[in-house]
């Protein structure tokens, strides 16, 4: 008999509480304020339990059911939460740094302000979860379902986000600096002013999106689909746009200084007032296929000759 069960039985006896044998459970222990920190909690059923301030440091909680449980202030350092049901659980402000939460169900969980730095959430479900201002830096988030989650102000810098699904998620003020987002899905997402600097976004489909003032500086956008996007005032400083598709997009006042543009498709793109100084491998043919004005700043190795107010010729400078 484990210590928690012995303590529960002693408390039940001292208070003359009429319990049947089947009622001597961990959930009952919690109701009677019995310490369960030493219990074997693998696969335990703690649905809707209130465990504020619980000490689960170093515990194996794999397979535990914490559906709609309250874990405010719980100590989960070095705890293993792999393959657990954490749907609707309240982990607000929890310290989950480096924890194993892979394959866990965290749907509708409250993880606002939680420290999930370096945590392993591979293939976890975070659908409709509250991750406002959460720290997910350098976390393993491959194939995570973030659909309809609130990631306002969350920091996902350096995270592994291959094939993550952000469909209809809220990403206002989120940071993805140097994150690996290859194969990620952004269907129905507002990415305006999101920081994607240094991220790997190779071959992502952003077609038709409003990406005004998004930070793509030093981002890998090779062969990325940016067709028909609103890219006004977007920052592409030193971005790798080789083979990317920018046709029919609005890049008015976009900043493309020092970007790599070899093979970038610019047909019918609006480059009025855009900054193209120091771009690498841009050709006159590419500029000729786009729309520019006299305020467009082209690289020094190209020369624009205006033949009328709206028509021009672009060629290599002698």
Burial of 45 (0-12, 13-18, 19+ CB in 10 A): middle
Q: Which residues share a beta bridge with 95? A: 75, 115
Q: pLDDT at position 31, please?
A: 66
Domain 191-318: top CATH class: mainly beta
**How far are the Cα atoms of 59, 61, 103, 283 from residue 80, in angstroms, in the given order?**
6, 5, 12, 55
102/117 Cα distance (integer angstroms): 14
Least confident of 15-19, 75-79, 148-152: 15-19
- Asked whether the predicted pLDDT for residue 19 surpasses 70, the reply is no
For the chain, domain boundaries: 1-39, 191-318
- Asked whether the predicted pLDDT for residue 101 surpasses 80, the reply is yes
Q: pLDDT at position 22, please?
A: 67
Mean pLDDT, range 87-100, rounded to an integer = 91
State whether residue 263 is helix, strand or coil. Answer: coil
230/198 Cα distance (integer angstroms): 20
| 219-266 pLDDT tens trace | 999 999 999 999 999 999 999 999 999 999 999 999 999 999 999 999
194/170 Cα distance (integer angstroms): 11
Contact 188, 170 (CB under 8 A): no
Is the pTM value of this prediction over 0.85?
Answer: yes
Q: What is the mean pLDDT of the chain?
A: 92
Q: pLDDT at position 166, please?
A: 97
- Asked whether the predicted pLDDT for residue 302 surpasses 90, the reply is yes
Q: pLDDT at position 53, please?
A: 77
Q: pLDDT at position 280, please?
A: 96
């Amino acid at each position: 008999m484990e210590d928690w069960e012995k303590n529960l039985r002693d408390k039940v006896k001292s208070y003359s509480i009429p319990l049947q044998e089947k009622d001597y459970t961990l959930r009952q222990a919690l109701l009677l304020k019995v310490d369960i920190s030493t219990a074997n909690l693998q696969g335990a059923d703690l649905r809707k339990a209130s465990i504020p301030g619980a000490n689960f440091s170093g515990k194996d909680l794999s397979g535990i059911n914490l559906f709609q449980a309250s874990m405010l202030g719980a100590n989960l350092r070095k705890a293993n939460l792999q393959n657990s049901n954490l749907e609707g659980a309240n982990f607000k402000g929890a310290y989950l740094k480096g924890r194993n939460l892979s394959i866990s169900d965290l749907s509708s969980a409250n993880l606002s302000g939680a420290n999930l730095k370096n945590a392993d959430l591979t293939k976890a479900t975070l659908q409709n979860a509250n991750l406002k201002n959460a720290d997910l830096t350098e976390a393993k988030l491959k194939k995570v379902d973030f659909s309809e989650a609130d990631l306002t102000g969350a920091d996902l810098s350096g995270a592994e986000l291959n094939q993550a699904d952000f469909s209809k998620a809220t990403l206002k003020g989120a940071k993805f600096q140097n994150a690996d987002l290859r194969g990620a899905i952004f269907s129905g997402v507002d990415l305006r002013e999101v920081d994607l600097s240094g991220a790997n976004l190779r071959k992502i489909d952003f077609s038709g999106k409003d990406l005004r003032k998004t930070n793509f500086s030093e981002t890998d956008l090779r062969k990325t689909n940016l067709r028909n996007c609103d890219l006004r005032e977007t920052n592409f400083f030193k971005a790798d746009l080789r083979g990317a598709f920018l046709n029919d997009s609005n890049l008015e006042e976009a900043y493309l200084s020092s970007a790599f543009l070899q093979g970038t498709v610019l047909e019918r793109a609006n480059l009025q007032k855009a900054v193209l100084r120091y771009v690498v491998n841009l050709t006159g043919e590419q500029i000729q296929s786009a729309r520019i004005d006299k305020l467009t700043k082209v690289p020094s190795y190209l020369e624009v000759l205006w033949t009328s107010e709206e028509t021009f010729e672009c060629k290599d400078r002698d």
